[in-house]
Copies of this chain bind each other. A is one copy, B any other.
Amino acid sequence: MKLKVKQLKLSVGKPVAILHTNTAERLQVQEDNRIKLRKYYKEGSKRKWITAVVDVAFSILKENEIALTQDVIKALGIKQGSYVELMTEVHPTSINYVIKKMNGGKLNYTEIYSIISDISKGRLTKAEIAYFTSGCYYSGLDFNEMVNLTKAMVKTGAILKHKNKFVLDLHCAGGVAGNRTSPIVVSLVGSAIEYLKLDAVLPKTASRAITSAAGTSDVMETVSRVEFTVPEIYRILKKTKACLVWNSALKLSPADDRIVKVETLVSLDAEAQIISSILSKKIADGATHVLMDIPYGYGAKFDVTGAIAIKKKFLKMASKFGLKMKVILTEGNKPIGRGIGPVLEMLDVLSVLKHQKNRPRDLEKKSIMLSAELLSLTKNISKSKAISICKLLLYSGRAYKKFKQIVIAQGGKFNFEDLLKKAKFKLKIKTKKTGKVKAINNKKIALVAKIAGCPGDKGSGVYLCKHIGDKVLVGDTLFTIYSESKEKLKYAEKIAKQAFPFIIS
């Protein structure tokens, strides 16, 4: 097939070719597929084919046109209006294994590796990934398959290597609004490593928001950079012993990132997938000692039975990979802290670290507990001693100092705190009832925050003025919504009133 070239005046990292929908259909390619192309000569050509990633556009082009980015234009030495010829690549073999899993077959390591490798390289489309995850969801993965999936995910991405005796790490299974313990734990444990002269590092890698209003990386990004290369991480850790960065930028198990993104569309929580997903990141960032926090209860990801079941599987898998892991189940039936949204959560974190009077005590308590658990995992220290040390380091301001050091090492400004800005517009949601706050729904609160602009608009979100157990009188403000736009605020207000996240009685 021969197509007329349209130049795109865009700088590009990879060669990208945009096709008309109908042309793509005829060539039987879809978005993210690869296609071969080269300059067209009437008399035939011996020139090399170059491979480009296909993007399909809704009527952006005529059917006989192809829009090429500057990379392709330069690589081919071609001009606007001249012609290229195209050749499709045959469907990747891994599709056969996707089909095998969909039909209930067991996959061996080679087959799983082939799928995961193609996913990591962008050779499978999102719809194909959706079919793979459906297959795993319906046909299940046995223990061996889970181990192989985890191995393949690690192997197809970057791997961090540390020389320390203890490489500490923590993970929270998520679903609890405002549960921003990680920046505090990282700072606390980071300062404890120095205080106790432990041969340890804490290279905490975190995600951005998936379904929540803010991910740990979104929150950290309000004060520093979070996207780093592997050598940069080593340099930061040498200075600070601890860091808090975005895992996707490091390309740790990139296949997992793509899978999670697709699963999120339909809130598919395939248990095997969750375990492999989390473990692959921890193995890839070089962890030796890992603390897992699994919140359970009303509005959280798991109920108590589910939490206990997944705990067992995590421990079995971790031991297979030689990871020392502790899993703790925590109450997850309400938001933690007061802010929900990147800046608002960072303000909570800072108020705990600075030991301010109005700091959220629930966030402080949980952060101390997690830090102590993580420290005592090293076996150099008992839990009760760990708790006293954590309290000392937090209350004395050493953890706060460590946090500032990390922020600066990660490219933050010295006056980062002055730069934190809540969103321009705000609105109070008040109660029409007198009584006691019985429940606050995590998912509903997150929804309101997202409509207000989270996580894109850093200063937007929800600030809880009342918490569970508080007495309220008619007209009291339950929470404040922050947004950068009046319209988003209005829409968030509408949803807040419809979905009402508070139960008062």
Contact = CB atoms under 8 A, between A and B. Distances in A.
A60 to B, nearest CB: 5
Interface in A25-59: 25-28, 30-31, 44, 49, 53, 55, 57-59
A12 B59 contact: yes
B59 A209 contact: no
A128 B267 CA distance: 11
B57 A55 contact: yes
5 contacts: A8-B8, A9-B9, A13-B58, A87-B485, A102-B137
A455 interface: yes
Contacts of A57: 16, 55
Interface residues of A, number: 69
A387 interface: no
A12 B265 contact: no
A456 interface: yes
B209 A486 contact: no
A5 interface: no
Nearest to A262: B127
A14 to B, nearest CB: 5
B130 A86 contact: no
A298 interface: no
B8 A87 contact: no
Contacts of A60: 8, 10-12, 16, 55, 69
A428 interface: no
Contacts of A55: 55, 57-58, 60
A159 interface: no
Contacts of A67: 10
Contacts of A12: 58-60
A392 interface: no
Contact of A127 (B28, B59, B265): B265
